[in-house]
Each structure stands twice: as structure tokens, then as C-alpha cells.
Structure 1
Amino acid sequence: MTPAETATALHRALEAGTHGADLRRHFTPDAMTVEHPNLIKPNGARSSLDEMLAASEKGVGLLSSQQYDVHSALVTGDTAILRLTWTGVLRDGKELTAHIAQFVETRDGLISSIETFDCYRPF
């Protein structure tokens, strides 16, 4: 799989409701994510794989659905650079939308890191 296909496979799994340990198959054991400051995380965040998986468990309780619409993808070496829109529907029916620039590093067909710049619409 190309790095863009690897990233998209993760997005599709999340859309299908996959969470927690079931997501581990998409990542290298040392995977990490860097989320730059945004409306939800004003100070940004850096998370290990275990922290990402735990956050996905919490997300299942908050969201009734989520969708990733990739508008463009550029692959350079083992990196996919994606421009996408994420839409999440909260359990109470409210919708959140973020326009995202995402850099997905891969190694041996798995995600080794995700760096994301999330621009949320006001909510």
C-alpha cells in the first residue's frame, strides 16, 4: 500500500467505528501523533500509540459517527500529505467540522506518526 492508502485505511476504520486495540493493526508499536493547537486542544498534544488508542475509546462515547473526506493527497517517500475535512456528529446530534492538513509517516506499510493541523469551524 502507498502511504496515502495506509492513511485512508485508518480513516475508513475510524468511520466504521473501529476503536481501541482493534486500531493497533494500523500502527507501528512506536507510533505517535502530534496535534498542533486548535479549538479543542488549545495547547496541542503529543500522544503515544497507547494514548491514541485510549482516546479512540473515549471518542466512541462522544460521537455517533465521523467521516473523513480527503480532498487531495501528495506522497513523497514514506509520507502522505493529506488535505481533508473531518465531520463528527456528537451523540446529541450536534456536528463538528475540521479542515485538516495531515502528515502521515509510514514504515513497513504501517503508520509510524501523524502530525495534524486541525482548523475547527466555530461551535
Structure 2
Amino acid sequence: MQTTEEANLETARAYLRAVEGGATGEALARWFTPDVVQEEFPNRLMPTGARRGLRELLDGAERGQTVVRAQRYEVLSAVASGDKVALEVQWTGTLAVPLGSLAAGDDMRARFGVFLDFRDGRIAAQRNYDCFDPF
């Protein structure tokens, strides 16, 4: 029988694969509780950070597809305790548009710290600490 920690780690990895595959709408919403809160702490792209609910997360996924044509998430480390999962992720996104010194078609890279709180097998809270390589 799978432990809560094992189930949550498996769900966290599957969620990242779904995002990597371009999930939007219901295909993305299924990973979250209806009252999910996602916090993105200040970084180069979001200097003041952001706090989003489900609607904003789904809208952002749609907008993101116009900026990034492909993306990869490599989980470098992961740990779970009860209903909490912490991930260290190497992200690479292939740009659809120029950004900073990068041209469309270039790869943008970042290291993410992603902290997920689960409720009933779905993500109820997500906190991102995103560190982008210079661009």
C-alpha cells in the first residue's frame, strides 16, 4: 500500500509532467483544489511576486503558451512529509518570443524551489521560489 508521502510525490511529478506537456483548462485544473492559492515570490520576471487563485492559474497557463513554445521540468530532488512536498526543479523553456537578451527559439533556464500542500490528493497551495539564469 502506498503511503501518503509516496502518493503526493507521485502526484507532484505527474503534475509537472502535465504542465510540461502544455496542460490548460480542465486538464490543468484537475490537479488543484477549487480554493488553491499559488504564490510566486519576487523574481526577475515578477519583481513584486504574485498571488493567484485557480482562475488566475488557468489564465496564466493560457498566456504562457504564447511566450514559451516548449518547456521541460527536471526534478533534481524531492522530499515529502505528510501532506507537504518540496521539489528542487531545473526548468528549461524554449521561447516563442524574444525576452531580454534571448531571441525567439532560445532556451531560458531557471532553478525552482516548489513547495506544495496537498488536500485529498490535490494541490491546495503552491509556493514558487524561481531563480532565473541571466537573460
Whether TM-score is above 0.5 comes out as yes
Deviates more, 1:74-83 or 1:11-20: 11-20
Identify the match of residue 106 of structure 2 among 66, 79, 94: 94
Equivalent runs, 1:30-109 vs 2, <5 Å: 30-91=35-96, 92-109=104-121
Q: Is the 8 A contact 1:80 1:104 kept in 2?
A: yes
- Amino acid across the alignment from 2:109: T
Q: Is the 8 A contact 1:3 1:105 kept in 2?
A: no
- Partner of 2:42, secondary structure, is coil
- Partner of 2:30, secondary structure, is helix
Instruction: State the Cα RMSD in Å.
Output: 1.1
Structure 1 segments (4+ residues) deviating >6 Å: none
- Per-residue deviation, residues 45-75 of structure 1 (Å, max 9, x unmatched): 1000110000000011111100100011010
1:116 paired with 2:121, answer no
Pick the structure with more strand per residue: 1
Q: Which segments of 5 or more consecutive residues in structure 1 lack a partner in the other structure?
A: none
Question: Hey, what does 1:6 align to over in structure 2?
Answer: 11
- Amino acid across the alignment from 2:35: D
Q: Is the 8 A contact 1:35 1:45 kept in 2?
A: yes
Looking at structure 1, the residues matched to 134 and 7 of structure 2 have their Cα atoms a distance apart, in angstroms, of 34
Q: Is the 8 A contact 1:79 1:105 kept in 2?
A: yes
- Please say which structure displays the higher CA radius of gyration: 2
Deviation at 1:22, TM superposition (A): 2.3
User: Across the two proteins, how many residue pairs are aligned to each other?
Assistant: 123
Question: Hey, what does 1:17 align to over in structure 2?
Answer: 22
- Partner of 2:59, secondary structure, is helix
